[in-house]
Structure 1
Amino acid sequence: MHELLKNALSQLLSTANRETGARLTEKRLSLHLFNALNTGNADLAGACLIAARMPTFGQLSPLYYYAPSVADLTRQYTAAIRRFDRPLAVALDLGTAVTTAKALTPDTDNGNGYVGSQMVPRTNYVDDIVTQLLRQQHAAKNRRGRFDSWVRFHNFYTAYTVAMLMFCTGYRSIRDPLPRLSHINLSRGVIVVADKTNDHQSHARFIPLPPVMIDQFHRYLKHRHAVLSRLRLYLNHDWDTPFLLLDVYGNPQPVTPARLEHHLQWPHSPPLNINRHYLHTQFKERGCSAEEVDAFMGHWDMGQEPWAKHSTFCPRAYRHSITSQVEDMMLEQGWTVIEGTAL
């Protein structure tokens, strides 16, 4: 089919060039389509997938986290083609539009309903891992009493809270997520994420928090205070980072990707950053603009910082759009607030 279409296009362009004197090529048409797709507040990642082109500045981070449906790309393509109607009508001195682009219904029965990142989890998989985490919490809480059971519950409780934070903020899988309590403001419901940035913090970003995450973090801090009070005899100094895990002897340990993966025990052991793939794709499927998603994910280049002094990015619109979508997703996935242990 690909070769048939390519040969047909080649013949069409040859005929058009011969009859009109134009110098159309497949490459020029592809570039024109790419520019039409990337007009205004369009999604550059979607344009790259449709036109099979990369932007002139090189790699594009959103492409690695995005798996749009073929139906959504078809709608973007159809909208771009329709923009050619009037210019073509004027050029050909016609009174009416000349294109007949219609929104098609792609055949997704062959399993190719999505393109792009292969690491975007299905919604039912995310629902299943939340259910599994809640089941682990319930089982560990019912067995507490002995010291080892108490340590087990704490580690599961920490892993659950960190996983919730990752799925509502897009936090990367790094050592010591949320390194300082000063990075989060629970009264304002906002967190500063600086998980991949430079000395100037040019890629630090502000993320609004949903109410369920705020409530869960309040309860985790209360639990953390009780844990540190009980273990103070084992510590030479206070534990600085908000999150901590415990070894079998009760010694505190930092949260690392390997330790977190061990306690989460996700089915099929996917990379921990599937939360970023999932959120990026879900936001765009739910109607968030590419600009808002890039601000949430931390995907911008030098001079495009949404929080820069002269930026025209609207933080109020961003917060309203992102918060409403995250709240809906957290509710649909089944995240709930869990109390810590009574020590």
Structure 2
Amino acid sequence: MSNDLPLYYALCMQPVPATEAAGRVAQAAVLLAAAILYKDIGVGAFVSSMRLACRAVRQIGSNTHTHPEFIQALAQVKSGRGVLKAIEAVGSRPLVFTAGQATVLLKIRVFLRDAFEGRMPRDGVERKSHPQPPVGPDVPEPDVPEPERGEPEKPPPRDKSGGRPKRSPAVRRVAEVDDLVAEHWIRENATEGLPSADEVSEAAASSAESPRRSTVAVNVPLNVPAHFVSSRQVISRAKFAARAIATSAQSLMLAGDRLQLIDLEAAERYATGLRSRAFRQPSEGVSQGAIVAAAMLITGLSADGLSDLKIVEQLAQVPEPPDAHYLVVSDGVLVIPGPQLVDGFVPTSADQEHYRPVAEQLILKLPRELAWIQMLMEFAGKHIGGSPFNDPECVGQAGLFVSAVNDRFGSRLTPSRISQFQPRQLFATSGDRADVALLFGGKADARLYYYAPTVAHLVRSHHSIWLGVYKGMGLSVQDGAPAHEDSLPWPKSPGPYIGSRCCPTDRGVAAMVEAVIHHCRAILTGRRDRARTRQVHNAIVAYTCQMVMWHTGIRAVTDPVELGLYDHASGMLSVSDKNTDSYYASRLVWVPPIAQRQIAAYLEHLVEFKNSYKKTGKDTDKKVFENLASRGNTLFFIDEDDAPTAVRVEMLRQQVPQGHVYPMNAQRHYLRTRLRELGVPAQTIDALLGHGARGEEPYGAHSCYSAARLRSDLEVPLQHLSEQAGWTVLRGLRS
């Protein structure tokens, strides 16, 4: 069943809260071990042990064959090797293990030792493809071919005087089925290219400071796209990405908050010294580099990207919509253009009132309390009307400033960390990639096409970043974000929202639901002949589909709601609403109670509808009944020839009244925005809508995401939106 219905398999194997943290630690260790093996010799030779380790992680997360002391020790581990040490420590204690518990420990221990101790696979066939070289003083050095252009340099050979036998020298080999690239080098050092212990500690540093979440951080530099994954490769997906979807028990930070702030404070101290001339004749490049770095800090752009930054004196001089970032000297603000949503939906002028009005720009207040921002504003005042950062030397100047700061204060500042400071801090606090993309740009992030928050929300998010910086540096600033929208410096027209133009208003959704209910009730009344019975059935099918889609965010595709994949007991529905044959975009959604009752009402109607053909006794109607009975309990339309047809988008459009102005996917824009405004975590919304990034799929074999958490996060907000819209249960034919 796990191959045919992997979503149900994922659901039944969800972790319980008591062991979720331990399951995530084991999961992170297995992912890290897979990454090490992939960087070293590829995971093709270790598929068996990796499959067993992944199954053991599932057992830990679901509290199956686990020892309480092992769970307690595992939940406190902070590194991959720590998991291996915890397994060995528990195994050495005088504890009584069942056969199942011992097997779980053995499965993980074998795979982790393969990765962390550089052991070769134990299968004879695989060993032949990776032969061990002889070791001894009389053995000549092997001829190592020169690397081709573009390939990495091979590490120097190890000393043969001691230690474990080294692997064979770098050789080219034919790509295996599971390889992500056509060819690569085999490396001796199993940890080369992976984060050091200090880097892992840095990534996990923010967890101790944020009371809102606990963190298990893994930072593995594997930028490999996840392509089609067959049922046999579902366990091997661990090598595609080393991040799982974030929940309260795991949120992968892009950087540690405290260490980022320490490096930023070092730059501030150096800039203060530059302004007060406390340093001995700093080079002009360093002073100019501080200005370039300040521009990178406030815009989130790289030194190369600053070429389009323009400087004006008054806010009125910024064109509408802005064609680039604008630094306004007199007001001390930064104007950034709204997101460029290529091929995004744009409503007609007649339908504008049914959608949220969207602004074309954001106006953000600059942190002028910082010394290097003050240097930037002084520099900008001398270059009004120009683009002074359109200079190829800006990159080198920023590097000089960073080097000077690091040399004086021992910090680990880089130009990239400066430009990414605000995006990383915002994501570390909000966890919503859509907020980050709206403020600092995103590479066509799908979330941007479905998200239209208030400008006030983004302005407050931006303000909170610098409020935390001021407090961390001990600067005296006015606490609190702007309290009212009227006090925020954005244009009053066209509206206080930004992002998607296809986000319906609450009033528009309520009007749409009222029109749909009135249309269906009009069809349900009156005398019912055969043609009228078909109309009633088709109207109930369309209404049921619409209600489920507006409560779950299912895409408008052929047969969007498959009742054969609906579990009446839990209210969970398996969804596959992408036009592919794989389960990569599939997911579980929770159907709220009102939609569950509507599904039950449709099933009651379906029984009576089928019997209406059976009761006539006609041979033609008998054939129709047999044809309908073969469809089972599914949603389907009936054509004029009494033949069942699939629920297609064009037929759904024909069943809605004239007052229905929204496109068939508008519900996804509405849910993405309104659920976020009602406090639902962004990761839960991404799991609901199928927007998980590569490596963050909520129901992949490597994930410990709990479907029960999906329900707990959505239950109250969805109930609020449903009551606000006025959805109700409609019944069709009755016995």
Same fold (TM over 0.5): yes
Based on CA coordinates, which of the two structures has the bigger radius of gyration?
A: 2
From the superposition, tell whether residues 144 and 342 of structure 1 become closer, same or farther in structure 2 (CA, over 3 Å): farther
AA at the equivalent of 2:570: R
Superposed counterparts of 1:30-41, under 5 Å: 31-41=420-430
Q: How far off is 1:186 after superposition?
A: 1.1
Q: Is the partner of 2:588 in helix, strand or coil?
A: strand
| More relative contact order, 1 or 2 (CA 8 Å, 6+ apart) | 1
AA at the equivalent of 1:103: A
Partner of 1:92: none
Once the two structures are superposed, what CA deviation does each residue of 1:166-191 show, in whole Å capped at 9, x if it has no partner?
01111110111224x33101111111
Q: Is the partner of 2:485 in helix, strand or coil?
A: coil
What 5-or-longer segments of structure 2 have no aligned partner?
1-314, 319-325, 333-372, 381-399, 406-414, 614-621
Q: How far off is 1:288 after superposition?
A: 0.6
1:13 maps onto 2:402 in alignment: no
1:234 maps onto 2:619 in alignment: no
Bigger mean CA offset, 260-269 vs 100-109: 100-109
From the superposition, tell whether residues 48 and 325 of structure 1 become closer, same or farther in structure 2 (CA, over 3 Å): same
* Partners of 1:260 and 1:12 in 2: CA distance: 60
1:45 maps onto 2:437 in alignment: no
**Alignment partner of 1:165 out of 542, 548, 553:** 548
Partner of 2:475: 97
> Does structure 2 conserve the Cα–Cα contact (< 8 Å) formed by 1:170 and 1:275?
yes
Once the two structures are superposed, what CA deviation does each residue of 1:25-78 show, in whole Å capped at 9, x if it has no partner?
x99866432222122552111111122x11xxx331111100001121122112
Superposed counterparts of 1:289-304, under 5 Å: 289-304=681-696
After TM superposition, the score normalised by the length of structure 2 is 0.41
**Alignment partner of 1:196 out of 563, 578, 591:** 578
Q: How far off is 1:148 after superposition?
A: 2.1
Identity across aligned pairs (percent)?
Answer: 25
From the superposition, tell whether residues 258 and 339 of structure 1 become closer, same or farther in structure 2 (CA, over 3 Å): same
From the superposition, tell whether residues 184 and 216 of structure 1 become closer, same or farther in structure 2 (CA, over 3 Å): same
**Alignment partner of 1:250 out of 631, 634, 642:** 642
Superposed counterparts of 1:37-76, under 5 Å: 37-51=426-440, 53-54=441-442, 58-76=443-461
1:155 maps onto 2:538 in alignment: yes
Q: How far off is 1:234 after superposition?
A: 2.6
* Partners of 1:325 and 1:101 in 2: CA distance: 30
> Does structure 2 conserve the Cα–Cα contact (< 8 Å) formed by 1:197 and 1:204?
no
Partner of 1:85: 470
* Partners of 1:191 and 1:257 in 2: CA distance: 20
Q: How far off is 1:301 after superposition?
A: 2.5
1:321 maps onto 2:704 in alignment: no
Q: How far off is 1:338 after superposition?
A: 1.5
From the superposition, tell whether residues 6 and 40 of structure 1 become closer, same or farther in structure 2 (CA, over 3 Å): closer
Matched positions, count: 327
1:125 maps onto 2:125 in alignment: no
Q: How far off is 1:160 after superposition?
A: 0.8
Once the two structures are superposed, what CA deviation does each residue of 1:168-219 show, in whole Å capped at 9, x if it has no partner?
111110111224x331011111111111275441321111111111111011
**Alignment partner of 1:106 out of 482, 485, 507:** 485
Superposed counterparts of 1:214-229, under 5 Å: 214-229=596-611
From the superposition, tell whether residues 28 and 7 of structure 1 become closer, same or farther in structure 2 (CA, over 3 Å): farther
Q: Is the partner of 1:294 in helix, strand or coil?
A: helix
AA at the equivalent of 1:132: A
> Does structure 1 conserve the Cα–Cα contact (< 8 Å) formed by 2:558 and 2:648?
yes
Bigger mean CA offset, 266-275 vs 327-336: 266-275
AA at the equivalent of 1:307: Y
* Partners of 1:141 and 1:296 in 2: CA distance: 33
Q: Is the partner of 2:574 in helix, strand or coil?
A: strand
> Does structure 1 conserve the Cα–Cα contact (< 8 Å) formed by 2:686 and 2:692?
yes
Q: Is the partner of 1:207 in helix, strand or coil?
A: strand
> Does structure 2 conserve the Cα–Cα contact (< 8 Å) formed by 1:194 and 1:201?
yes
